[in-house]
Amino acid sequence: MMSKKFDIFDILVGKSDDPDYGNKPVIIQGITGNFGSVHTRLMREYGTNIVAGVTPNKGGQSFEGIPVFDSVKDANKNFGAKISGIFVPAPFFLSAVKDAVNNGIKLLVAIPEHVPIRDAMEALEYAQTNGARIIGPNTPGVIVPSVSKIGIMPSQPFTKGSTAVFSRSGTLMYEVSYHLSREGIGQQIALGIGGDPINGTNLIEAFELISDRDEIESVVVVGEIGGDAEESLVQYIEKTGFSKPVVAYVAGRSAPKEKRMGHAGAIVYGNYGSAESKISSYAKVKIPVAKRPAEVPSLLLKLMK
Amino acid sequence: MKLLEYQGKELFTEYDIAVPKSYLASNQSELNQIADKLQFPVVLKSQLTVGGRGKAGAILKCTKIEELVPKFTELMNKEVKGELPKVILIEEAVNIDKELYFSLFLNRGKRTYSLISSAQGGMDIESVENKVIQDISVTGLTQSDAESVAKRLNLDGITAKSFSNIVIKLAKLVREKEAELAEINPLAILKDGTCLALDSKIIIDDNSLFRHPELRKYVQISELQEQAEKSGFSFIELDGNIAIIGNGAGLVMSTLDIVTDAGGTPGAFLDFGGRATTETIYKALEVISKLSKIKAILVNLFGGIVRTDLVAQAILNAYQDGMISVPIYARISGAESEKSKEMLSNSNAKLYDTVEEAISSLVQYKELSK
C-alpha cells in the first residue's frame, strides 16, 4: 500500500482555481487500435480532454485531430498530462506502463484484459516505486459523472451525485449505477477495480481515495467470487472505523468451485474466494448485501435515512 | 490452467525436484507394455483435475502384478465428481518416514507470492495445522530464506538441505512457468532423509500461455470450448438446462445467481464480452445450440452502447436458420427496444424490461421440469 495519500480527484478533476479545472489533459495509449479509437471518440463526446495519442510506429499521424506519437515520452513533452488511458493489447501492457510512468503520468487507467500476472505485478511495482497509480488492469475505467471518463463504460447509466461505486466487474458497475441513478442516487465517482487477480487499486485503496472526502456520503461495493478483497476490506473497515454507509453486492453465489467464471480473478478454491465467505465477512460489520443488483438502491436508501 | 498430477511432475523433473519412478497408461495395451518393468508395490493414481481423489477411492495400491489389471480397469471407469480419467499414473511405492506440506501461491491481496509449509502433510491445506506462512519474492528467493523455512519446520541435516533445495527449485519453476500455485502435498521425507514430491498441483496463469509454447501440450479443452474461445467468449458448461448469455462476466454470474434463486438450474455460462453485434450474438447462440440438454435460453444484455435491434436480428436469424428452437427469454436494455420487441413478436423469443421479469417467466416454462 502507498504511504503517501494519493488524491485521485486532484488528478482527475483538479482544484476549483486550476485553469484546467475539470478539463485535465489525458493521453490515450493504443489510440489507433479498434478499441482505443472507438472509445477515444466516446470519451471525447463525454467531455474528456484527450490531448494526444500513442501508438508505436504511428508517430506523426493524427486521429480525428488528436496528434499521435510513438511514445508517451514524445507525446508528453508538450502537454504535461498526468493521466493516461491504456488500450494496448495485453502483451504490450508492461512496456506501455513503463513509458507512461517514466514520462510524467501519475494515473494509469489500464483497460486491457488478459495481462499476465507476472507483468501486472511488475507494472505495479514499477508504478509504485515511481509514485504513480494504476487502476486495473481489466477495468472498465473510472468516471466522474458529468466531468470526465477514462475508460470504456457507457455514459447513460451514470449521473452526478454523492455516492461512490467501486466494482470488480464492468457490466455490473454499469448495471448497479443504472439502478442507483433511476432511484435518484447519483455517483461522484464510479471506479472499476478490475476482474483480474492482481489489481493496481484494490478495494481498500479505493476506499482510501474517498475516505476523507466529505462530498461522498456513501459507498457501493460491487464484488464477486475469487480472492479475499472483500474480506480484507471488512478488516480495513473494522480497523479504521470507516463511517460512511456502505452497501455491497457479491456476484457468483451459485458458481461452481474451481471454475474460472469469465474473469481471471473469479475463481473459488475451497472456501477461499467463496461468496459465503464474503457475505459472512460483510455481516460482521453489518454491511447489507444485496441479493440482486436491482436491490442495491433500496438497501442504500434505508441506510441513509 | 490446472495441470494434471503427472504433468506437474514432468515439470518437477525438469526442475530437478525428485518424484517417484512412474509410468503412464491410458489403456490395457499400454498397461501390458509396462507391467513387466514395475517394481511392486505400486500405486495407481487416477489423473483428474478435480480434488478429493483419495477420499473418492481413485488412488489404489497394488501389492502384486495380479491386482494390476482389475485395479487399473476399476480406476479407468471410476467417475469422480463427474470426471473420468484419460490416463492413470502408476508409481513405485517409496519408503516414507514423514510427510510435509509445501506450496507457493499468488497472494492476491498482498500482491506477492506466499509460501506455506507445515510439518503435517497429506491433508487438505485448510485443515493443516501449525502452518508456516511467509511472503516471498519468487524472483529474489535466497538460499538462506529457504534454509530459514526448513529451520522453522525443525528440519536438520540432509533433510534441511534437501528441503531448502526444493524450495529454491519450486520458486524457480513458479517464476519461469508463471504459475499461480505450485503445491507439493505431501512432500515426503524418505528413510534416507531426502525429500521427494509425492503429489503435484500446479495452476498456470492462462494469460501467460502465449509465451509458453512448451506448456501448450497440456491445454485440454473441449471442441465446443475451443469454438467459444475462438469467438472471444468465456464459456462454461454447467449441470442444468438453462443457458445464460450476457455481456460481461459479472453480469452473467449475477444472472446465474438470480436464476438459481428462482429455482432454475443453469446449464451454461456464456459471456460474449463487449461486442454485442448481430454476428457475435448469433455465434453465441450457435455455441449454445450444440448443447442438447439446454431447454431454454436467457439473454441478459446490459445495453447503453448496444443497439438492441441488432440483437433481435441475431435471434430471428438463429430461429429462421433452424439453429435453435428452444424459447429465449431476453432482457435487453438499450436503444431501439420497442422496435426489437416488435421484430420478435412472432418468434419463440420474448423481450422483458427487467431481468427479474424475464427470469420469473422463464422458470415457469414447463419443459424445464420434465
Domains of chain A: 8-135 (3.40.50.720), 156-304 (3.40.50.261)
Q: How far apart are CA B370 and CA B356, in angstroms?
A: 23
Q: What is the pLDDT of residue A271?
A: 84
* Parts of chain A with a pLDDT under 50: 1-3
Residue keyed to cell 504490450? A92
pLDDT surpassing 90 at residue B136: no
Can you tell me the distance from the alpha carbon of A146 to that of A179, in angstroms, rounded to the nearest whole number? 17
Catalytic residue among B101, B282, B319, B329: B101
With CA atoms as reference, report the closest residue to B186 among B95, B99, B287, B91. B99
DSSP state of B334: S
Q: Are strands B234-237 and B266-271 parallel, antiparallel or unpaired?
A: antiparallel
The distance of A118 to chain B (nearest Cα, Å) reads: 7
pLDDT at residue B276, rounded to an integer: 77
What's the pTM value of the predicted model, to 2 decimals? 0.94
Judge whether B338 counts as a catalytic residue: no
For the domain covering B96-216, report its CATH number.
3.30.470.20
- Which pLDDT belongs to residue A1? 45
Question: Which residue, among A230, A250, A262, has the nearest Cα to A114 in the 3D structure?
Answer: A262
Strand partners for A52? A27
* Cβ burial B254-285 (10 Å sphere, 16+ → b, else e): bbbbbbbeeebebbbbbbbbbebebebbbbbb
**Residue A7 CB partners (closer than 8 Å, separation 6+):** A209
In whole angstroms, give the CA distance from residue A190 to residue A179.
13
Superfamily of domain B21-92: ATP-grasp fold, A domain (3.30.1490.20)
For B280-307, the pLDDT digits (tens) are: 999 999 999 999 999 999 999 887 656 7
ipTM over 0.90: yes
Report CA B231 to chain centroid distance, whole Å.
20
Q: Rounded distance, CA B164 to CA A80, Å?
A: 50
- The three-state secondary structure class of B237 is strand
Contact A297, A176 (CB under 8 A): no
The answer to whether residue B328 scores a pLDDT higher than 60 is: yes
Contact B261, B222 (CB under 8 A): no
Measured CA to CA, the distance from residue B95 to residue B310 in angstroms comes to 66
Fold: same for B21-92 and B96-216:
no
Peptide bond into A137 cis (omega under 30): yes
C-alpha separations of A224 from A219, A272, A289 in Å: 16, 12, 12
Neighboring chain B residues of A117 at a CB cutoff of 8 Å: 106, 178, 180, 205, 207-208
Cβ atoms < 10 Å from Cβ of B70: 11
Higher pLDDT, B120 or A71: A71
Which of B49, B111, B305 has its CB closest to that of A154? B305
* Integer Cα distance of B23 and B9 in angstroms: 12
Q: How far apart are CA B296 and CA B312, in angstroms?
A: 16
- pLDDT score of A227: 93
Q: Which one, of B212, B199, B193, lies nearest residue B5 by Cα?
A: B199
* Window 203-262 of B, Cβ < 8 Å to A: 205-208, 210-211, 234, 236, 238, 246-254, 256-261
Give the single-character DSSP code of B4.
P
Interface test with B, best of A2, A133, A254 (most B CBs within 10 A): A254
Could you tell me if B335 lies within 8 Å of chain A, comparing CB atoms? Answer: no
H/E element holding B184? strand B179-190
Chain B residues close to A197, C-beta within 8 Å:
106, 108, 180
Task: Supply the residues of A annotated as catalytic.
Answer: 263
Q: Which of the residues B5, B147, B178, B183 is marked catalytic?
A: B183
Interface check for B336 against chain A (CB to CB < 8 A): the answer is no
DSSP state of B58: -
Q: Which residues on chain B are in Cβ contact (under 8 Å) with A261?
A: 234, 236, 249, 252-253, 269
User: In the 3-class helix/strand/coil scheme, how is B148-171 assigned residue by residue?
Assistant: HHHHHCCCCHHHHHHHHHHHHHHH
Domain residue extents for chain B = 21-92, 96-216, 223-369
Rounded Cα distance, A145 and B119, in Å: 54
Q: Which residues are registered as beta bridge partners of B182? A: B104, B202
Predicted pLDDT of residue A2: 44
Show residues of chain B in contact with A195, CB under 8 Å. 249-250
Contact A264 B206 (CB under 8 A): yes
Specify the higher pLDDT residue, B193 or B121: B193
pLDDT score for B304: 63
Q: Which of B317, B291, B179, B298 is nearest to B228 (CA)?
A: B291
Q: What share of chain B is helix, strand, coil (3-state, %, to 5)?
A: 40, 25, 35
Nearest chain A Cα to B246, which residue?
Answer: A171
A286's CB contacts (< 8 A; 6+ apart) are: none
The CATH number of the structural domain formed by B223-369 is 3.40.50.261
Among this protein's residues, is B183 annotated catalytic?
A: yes
B258/B49: higher pLDDT: B258
Check B269 against A261: CB less than 8 A apart: yes
CB B206 within 8 A of CB A197: no
Residue B106 at interface with chain A, using a CB cutoff of 8 Å:
yes
pLDDT tops 80 at residue B47: yes
Query: How high is the pLDDT of residue B108?
Result: 92
Helix (H) or strand (E) holding B5: helix B5-14
Indicate the Cα dihedral angle B44, B225, A88, A13, nearest 10°.
-100
pLDDT one-digit tens code per residue, A124-165: 999 999 999 999 999 999 999 999 999 999 999 999 999 999
Tell me whether residues B111 and A258 touch, CB distance under 8 A: no
3-state secondary structure chain A: CCCCCCCHHHHHCCCCCCCCCCCCEEEEECCCCHHHHHHHHHHHHHCCEEEEEECCCCCCCEECCEEEECCHHHHHHHHCCCEEEECCCHHHHHHHHHHHHCCCCCEEEECCCCCCHHHHHHHHHHHHHCCCEEECCCCCEEEECCCEEEECCCCCCCCEEEEEEEECCHHHHHHHHHHHHHCCCCEEEEEECCCCCCCCCCHHHHHHHHCCCCCCCEEEEEEECCCCHHHHHHHHHHHHCCCCCEEEEEECCCCCCCCCCCCCCCCCECCECCHHHHHHHHHHCCCCEECCHHHHHHHHHHHHC
Helix (H, G, I), strand (E, B) or coil at B297: strand
Across the interface, of B108, B253, B274, the residue whose CB is closest to A152 is B274
Can you tell me whether residue B46 is helix, strand or coil? strand
The residue-averaged pLDDT of B234-238 equals 94
Least confident span in A163-172, B180-189, B211-220, B330-339: B330-339
Closest CB to B253: pick one of A116, A224, A292.
Answer: A224
Q: How many CB pairs under 8 A join A and B?
A: 148
